[in-house]
Structure 1
Amino acid sequence: MTPDDTLQFRWAAFDELERLDLHDLLKLRQDVFIVEQASLYADIDGKDPEALHCLVRSGQTGAFLGAIRLFVDPERTSARIGRVVIAQEARGDGLGRSMMQAGILKAEELAPDCEIHVTAQAHLEKFYGSLGFRRASETYLQDGIPHIDMIRP
Protein backbone atom coordinates (compact mmCIF):
# COMPACT_ATOMS: atom_id res chain seq x y z
CA MET A 1 0.00 0.00 0.00
CA THR A 2 1.35 3.40 -0.91
CA PRO A 3 0.65 6.58 1.08
CA ASP A 4 -1.50 7.97 -1.75
CA ASP A 5 -3.54 4.77 -2.09
CA THR A 6 -7.24 5.42 -1.58
CA LEU A 7 -9.08 3.00 0.66
CA GLN A 8 -12.56 1.62 0.25
CA PHE A 9 -14.33 0.84 3.55
CA ARG A 10 -17.55 -1.15 3.30
CA TRP A 11 -19.81 -2.36 6.09
CA ALA A 12 -21.86 -5.49 5.46
CA ALA A 13 -23.89 -7.99 7.40
CA PHE A 14 -22.77 -11.57 6.85
CA ASP A 15 -25.60 -12.37 4.43
CA GLU A 16 -24.67 -9.27 2.39
CA LEU A 17 -21.09 -10.41 1.81
CA GLU A 18 -20.28 -11.27 -1.76
CA ARG A 19 -18.55 -14.60 -2.37
CA LEU A 20 -15.22 -12.94 -3.16
CA ASP A 21 -15.47 -10.81 0.00
CA LEU A 22 -16.12 -13.89 2.14
CA HIS A 23 -13.23 -15.76 0.52
CA ASP A 24 -10.83 -12.83 0.95
CA LEU A 25 -11.95 -12.25 4.55
CA LEU A 26 -11.47 -15.86 5.63
CA LYS A 27 -8.19 -16.20 3.71
CA LEU A 28 -6.70 -13.07 5.32
CA ARG A 29 -7.74 -14.14 8.81
CA GLN A 30 -6.25 -17.60 8.17
CA ASP A 31 -3.02 -16.14 6.74
CA VAL A 32 -2.50 -13.76 9.68
CA PHE A 33 -4.03 -15.41 12.74
CA ILE A 34 -3.29 -19.05 12.03
CA VAL A 35 -0.26 -19.18 9.70
CA GLU A 36 1.71 -15.99 10.48
CA GLN A 37 1.02 -16.06 14.22
CA ALA A 38 1.36 -19.87 14.36
CA SER A 39 -1.82 -20.17 16.42
CA LEU A 40 -4.03 -23.14 15.73
CA TYR A 41 -7.56 -22.15 16.64
CA ALA A 42 -11.04 -22.29 15.13
CA ASP A 43 -11.34 -18.98 13.30
CA ILE A 44 -14.71 -19.99 11.88
CA ASP A 45 -16.41 -19.84 15.27
CA GLY A 46 -20.05 -19.53 14.25
CA LYS A 47 -20.19 -15.83 15.21
CA ASP A 48 -19.61 -14.24 11.79
CA PRO A 49 -23.32 -14.46 10.85
CA GLU A 50 -24.17 -12.31 13.92
CA ALA A 51 -21.59 -9.61 13.17
CA LEU A 52 -21.29 -6.57 10.98
CA HIS A 53 -18.10 -6.73 8.94
CA CYS A 54 -15.99 -3.79 7.86
CA LEU A 55 -14.03 -4.75 4.76
CA VAL A 56 -11.17 -2.61 3.50
CA ARG A 57 -9.84 -2.76 -0.04
CA SER A 58 -7.35 -0.71 -1.97
CA GLY A 59 -9.20 1.80 -4.11
CA GLN A 60 -6.53 1.49 -6.78
CA THR A 61 -5.91 -2.25 -7.02
CA GLY A 62 -8.93 -3.78 -5.27
CA ALA A 63 -6.57 -5.77 -3.00
CA PHE A 64 -8.14 -6.91 0.25
CA LEU A 65 -6.23 -5.07 3.00
CA GLY A 66 -8.10 -5.60 6.25
CA ALA A 67 -11.26 -6.25 8.17
CA ILE A 68 -12.94 -6.07 11.54
CA ARG A 69 -16.13 -7.50 12.89
CA LEU A 70 -18.52 -5.63 15.14
CA PHE A 71 -21.17 -6.92 17.52
CA VAL A 72 -23.76 -4.68 19.15
CA ASP A 73 -25.93 -6.10 21.96
CA PRO A 74 -29.71 -6.16 21.52
CA GLU A 75 -30.25 -3.53 24.23
CA ARG A 76 -27.63 -1.31 22.56
CA THR A 77 -25.65 -0.72 25.75
CA SER A 78 -22.36 -2.26 24.64
CA ALA A 79 -20.49 -3.30 21.54
CA ARG A 80 -17.51 -5.51 20.76
CA ILE A 81 -14.91 -5.08 18.05
CA GLY A 82 -12.95 -8.18 17.14
CA ARG A 83 -10.97 -10.07 14.54
CA VAL A 84 -9.05 -6.91 13.61
CA VAL A 85 -6.83 -8.12 10.78
CA ILE A 86 -4.51 -6.27 8.40
CA ALA A 87 -2.62 -7.69 5.44
CA GLN A 88 1.13 -7.67 6.01
CA GLU A 89 1.76 -5.31 3.09
CA ALA A 90 -0.71 -2.77 4.50
CA ARG A 91 0.76 -2.47 8.00
CA GLY A 92 2.57 0.57 9.33
CA ASP A 93 0.63 3.23 7.40
CA GLY A 94 -2.17 3.88 9.91
CA LEU A 95 -4.72 1.45 8.49
CA GLY A 96 -5.27 -0.16 11.90
CA ARG A 97 -6.13 3.22 13.41
CA SER A 98 -8.48 4.03 10.52
CA MET A 99 -10.21 0.66 10.84
CA MET A 100 -10.65 1.01 14.60
CA GLN A 101 -11.97 4.56 14.21
CA ALA A 102 -14.49 3.25 11.67
CA GLY A 103 -15.51 0.54 14.14
CA ILE A 104 -15.89 3.02 16.99
CA LEU A 105 -18.01 5.35 14.83
CA LYS A 106 -20.25 2.50 13.64
CA ALA A 107 -20.71 1.21 17.21
CA GLU A 108 -21.64 4.70 18.41
CA GLU A 109 -24.03 5.12 15.48
CA LEU A 110 -25.83 1.86 16.31
CA ALA A 111 -25.62 2.22 20.10
CA PRO A 112 -25.05 5.80 21.23
CA ASP A 113 -23.06 6.11 24.48
CA CYS A 114 -22.23 2.40 24.49
CA GLU A 115 -19.14 0.84 26.03
CA ILE A 116 -16.94 -0.78 23.40
CA HIS A 117 -15.01 -3.91 24.31
CA VAL A 118 -11.97 -5.47 22.66
CA THR A 119 -9.89 -8.51 23.41
CA ALA A 120 -6.46 -7.18 22.49
CA GLN A 121 -3.13 -8.82 21.99
CA ALA A 122 -1.17 -7.53 24.99
CA HIS A 123 1.58 -5.91 22.90
CA LEU A 124 -1.06 -3.62 21.35
CA GLU A 125 -2.23 -2.10 24.66
CA LYS A 126 -0.62 1.28 23.93
CA PHE A 127 -2.23 1.41 20.46
CA TYR A 128 -5.72 0.65 21.82
CA GLY A 129 -5.09 3.04 24.71
CA SER A 130 -4.48 5.84 22.20
CA LEU A 131 -8.03 5.22 20.94
CA GLY A 132 -9.54 5.61 24.41
CA PHE A 133 -9.58 1.97 25.51
CA ARG A 134 -8.57 1.09 29.07
CA ARG A 135 -7.24 -2.18 30.39
CA ALA A 136 -9.95 -4.22 32.10
CA SER A 137 -8.14 -7.48 32.91
CA GLU A 138 -4.85 -9.05 33.76
CA THR A 139 -2.83 -10.55 30.90
CA TYR A 140 -3.96 -14.05 29.95
CA LEU A 141 -3.14 -16.55 27.21
CA GLN A 142 -5.65 -17.01 24.42
CA ASP A 143 -4.70 -19.46 21.70
CA GLY A 144 -1.10 -19.30 22.94
CA ILE A 145 -0.84 -15.48 22.61
CA PRO A 146 -0.88 -13.00 25.55
CA HIS A 147 -4.12 -10.96 25.53
CA ILE A 148 -5.91 -8.38 27.67
CA ASP A 149 -9.50 -7.20 27.82
CA MET A 150 -9.99 -3.49 27.19
CA ILE A 151 -13.03 -1.21 27.35
CA ARG A 152 -13.69 2.19 25.81
CA PRO A 153 -16.22 3.93 28.09
Structure 2
Amino acid sequence: MNWQWSSFEELKLNELYDILALRQQIFILEQNCIYADLDYLDQPAQHLLGRDNNQLVAYSRLLPLGIPYKGAISFGRVLVAKEARGRNIGKNMIHEVFSYLKKQNNAHPIIISAQLYLKTFYESFGFIAEGESYDEDGIPHIKMTKK
Protein backbone atom coordinates (compact mmCIF):
# COMPACT_ATOMS: atom_id res chain seq x y z
CA MET A 1 0.00 0.00 0.00
CA ASN A 2 1.14 3.47 -0.85
CA TRP A 3 -0.37 6.33 1.19
CA GLN A 4 -0.46 9.91 -0.10
CA TRP A 5 -1.68 13.09 1.57
CA SER A 6 -2.80 15.94 -0.69
CA SER A 7 -4.60 19.22 -0.30
CA PHE A 8 -7.47 19.83 -2.69
CA GLU A 9 -5.26 22.06 -4.81
CA GLU A 10 -2.55 19.40 -5.00
CA LEU A 11 -4.90 16.72 -6.31
CA LYS A 12 -4.48 15.99 -9.99
CA LEU A 13 -7.70 15.89 -12.02
CA ASN A 14 -7.47 12.13 -12.52
CA GLU A 15 -6.96 11.65 -8.76
CA LEU A 16 -10.02 13.76 -7.98
CA TYR A 17 -12.01 11.79 -10.55
CA ASP A 18 -10.88 8.48 -9.00
CA ILE A 19 -11.85 9.73 -5.52
CA LEU A 20 -15.31 10.87 -6.60
CA ALA A 21 -15.91 7.68 -8.59
CA LEU A 22 -14.98 5.48 -5.61
CA ARG A 23 -17.06 7.54 -3.18
CA GLN A 24 -20.02 7.26 -5.56
CA GLN A 25 -19.51 3.50 -5.98
CA ILE A 26 -19.46 2.83 -2.25
CA PHE A 27 -21.63 5.45 -0.58
CA ILE A 28 -24.30 5.97 -3.23
CA LEU A 29 -24.49 2.70 -5.18
CA GLU A 30 -23.26 0.01 -2.76
CA GLN A 31 -24.94 1.51 0.31
CA ASN A 32 -27.96 2.64 -1.71
CA CYS A 33 -27.77 6.10 -0.16
CA ILE A 34 -28.94 9.00 -2.26
CA TYR A 35 -27.22 12.10 -0.90
CA ALA A 36 -25.22 15.10 -2.10
CA ASP A 37 -21.62 13.91 -1.88
CA LEU A 38 -20.23 17.21 -3.14
CA ASP A 39 -20.62 19.35 -0.02
CA TYR A 40 -17.86 21.97 -0.45
CA LEU A 41 -15.88 20.37 2.38
CA ASP A 42 -13.37 18.80 -0.02
CA GLN A 43 -11.71 22.16 -0.68
CA PRO A 44 -10.49 22.84 2.90
CA ALA A 45 -9.72 19.16 3.57
CA GLN A 46 -6.55 17.14 3.42
CA HIS A 47 -7.11 13.98 1.37
CA LEU A 48 -5.60 10.59 2.15
CA LEU A 49 -5.35 8.32 -0.87
CA GLY A 50 -4.39 4.67 -0.50
CA ARG A 51 -3.17 2.92 -3.62
CA ASP A 52 -2.44 -0.73 -4.26
CA ASN A 53 -0.59 -1.34 -7.54
CA ASN A 54 -1.34 2.28 -8.53
CA GLN A 55 -5.10 1.73 -8.13
CA LEU A 56 -7.05 3.81 -5.60
CA VAL A 57 -8.49 1.35 -3.07
CA ALA A 58 -8.79 3.48 0.10
CA TYR A 59 -9.64 7.07 0.88
CA SER A 60 -10.49 9.48 3.68
CA ARG A 61 -10.59 13.23 4.09
CA LEU A 62 -9.38 15.13 7.12
CA LEU A 63 -11.25 18.33 7.88
CA PRO A 64 -9.56 21.33 9.50
CA LEU A 65 -10.11 22.49 13.06
CA GLY A 66 -13.67 23.66 13.62
CA ILE A 67 -15.25 22.01 10.56
CA PRO A 68 -17.87 20.78 11.27
CA TYR A 69 -17.30 20.52 15.05
CA LYS A 70 -16.20 23.61 16.98
CA GLY A 71 -12.87 23.09 18.72
CA ALA A 72 -12.27 19.69 17.14
CA ILE A 73 -10.72 17.98 14.14
CA SER A 74 -12.82 15.58 12.08
CA PHE A 75 -12.36 13.06 9.33
CA GLY A 76 -14.84 11.24 7.15
CA ARG A 77 -15.71 9.70 3.79
CA VAL A 78 -13.64 6.75 5.05
CA LEU A 79 -13.77 3.94 2.52
CA VAL A 80 -12.06 0.82 1.25
CA ALA A 81 -12.91 -0.54 -2.19
CA LYS A 82 -14.91 -3.76 -2.08
CA GLU A 83 -12.17 -5.81 -3.75
CA ALA A 84 -9.59 -4.62 -1.18
CA ARG A 85 -11.53 -5.38 2.01
CA GLY A 86 -10.41 -7.96 4.55
CA ARG A 87 -6.75 -6.91 4.39
CA ASN A 88 -6.69 -4.46 7.36
CA ILE A 89 -6.48 -1.50 4.98
CA GLY A 90 -9.13 0.37 6.98
CA LYS A 91 -7.15 -0.06 10.21
CA ASN A 92 -3.94 1.01 8.50
CA MET A 93 -5.71 4.07 7.09
CA ILE A 94 -6.88 5.20 10.54
CA HIS A 95 -3.30 4.77 11.80
CA GLU A 96 -2.16 6.97 8.88
CA VAL A 97 -4.65 9.65 9.95
CA PHE A 98 -3.37 9.54 13.55
CA SER A 99 0.24 9.63 12.37
CA TYR A 100 -0.48 12.69 10.21
CA LEU A 101 -2.19 14.46 13.12
CA LYS A 102 0.75 13.66 15.40
CA LYS A 103 3.16 15.20 12.88
CA GLN A 104 0.93 18.30 12.83
CA ASN A 105 1.13 18.45 16.65
CA ASN A 106 -2.64 18.19 16.93
CA ALA A 107 -3.79 18.61 20.53
CA HIS A 108 -7.50 18.90 19.73
CA PRO A 109 -10.12 16.21 20.16
CA ILE A 110 -11.23 14.28 17.09
CA ILE A 111 -14.97 14.02 16.53
CA ILE A 112 -16.48 11.84 13.81
CA SER A 113 -19.94 10.88 12.63
CA ALA A 114 -19.48 7.12 12.28
CA GLN A 115 -21.80 4.67 10.63
CA LEU A 116 -23.28 2.74 13.54
CA TYR A 117 -22.11 -0.66 12.31
CA LEU A 118 -18.50 0.62 12.61
CA LYS A 119 -18.85 1.69 16.26
CA THR A 120 -16.72 -1.21 17.58
CA PHE A 121 -14.11 -0.58 14.87
CA TYR A 122 -13.66 3.03 15.97
CA GLU A 123 -13.78 2.09 19.67
CA SER A 124 -10.70 -0.08 19.00
CA PHE A 125 -8.86 3.20 18.25
CA GLY A 126 -10.00 4.88 21.47
CA PHE A 127 -13.11 6.64 20.19
CA ILE A 128 -16.04 6.89 22.62
CA ALA A 129 -19.65 7.00 21.47
CA GLU A 130 -21.63 10.05 22.53
CA GLY A 131 -25.41 9.98 22.82
CA GLU A 132 -27.84 7.93 20.81
CA SER A 133 -27.57 6.87 17.20
CA TYR A 134 -29.20 9.10 14.59
CA ASP A 135 -30.21 8.91 10.96
CA GLU A 136 -27.89 10.55 8.45
CA ASP A 137 -29.08 10.20 4.85
CA GLY A 138 -30.97 7.00 5.67
CA ILE A 139 -28.06 5.28 7.44
CA PRO A 140 -27.72 4.97 11.26
CA HIS A 141 -24.75 6.99 12.56
CA ILE A 142 -23.29 7.80 15.95
CA LYS A 143 -21.15 10.70 17.12
CA MET A 144 -17.79 9.50 18.44
CA THR A 145 -14.97 11.41 20.14
CA LYS A 146 -11.30 10.70 20.77
CA LYS A 147 -9.44 13.05 23.10
Query: Does the pair score TM above 0.5?
Result: yes
- Within 2, Cα distance between the matches of 1:18 and 1:140? 36
The aligned amino acid for 1:85 is: L
The Cα of 1:113 is off from its aligned counterpart by: 2.2
Q: Which runs of 4+ in 1 moved over 3 A?
A: none
Match of 2:118 among 124, 131, 134: 124
- Pairing 1:69–2:84 present: no
Please give the per-residue CA displacement for 1:61-106, whole angstroms capped at 9, x wherever unaligned.
Answer: 21110110001217xx521011101100111110001111111221
Q: Percent identity?
A: 37
> What secondary structure is seen at the aligned counterpart in 1 of 2:50?
strand
The Cα of 1:111 is off from its aligned counterpart by: 4.2
Task: Report the equivalent of 1:100.
Answer: 94
Gaps of 5+ in 2: none
Question: Is the contact between residue 79 and residue 107 of structure 1 (CA under 8 Å) also seen in structure 2?
Answer: no
Task: Report the equivalent of 2:3.
Answer: 9
User: TM-score, normalised on structure 2?
Assistant: 0.93
The count of residues paired between Structure 1 and Structure 2 equals: 144
The Cα of 1:116 is off from its aligned counterpart by: 0.8
> What secondary structure is seen at the aligned counterpart in 1 of 2:142?
strand
Question: Is the contact between residue 67 and residue 83 of structure 1 (CA under 8 Å) also seen in structure 2?
Answer: yes
User: TM-score, normalised on structure 1?
Assistant: 0.89
CA-atom RMSD in angstroms: 1.5
Gaps of 5+ in 1: 1-6
90-99 or 104-113, which moves further after superposition?
Answer: 104-113
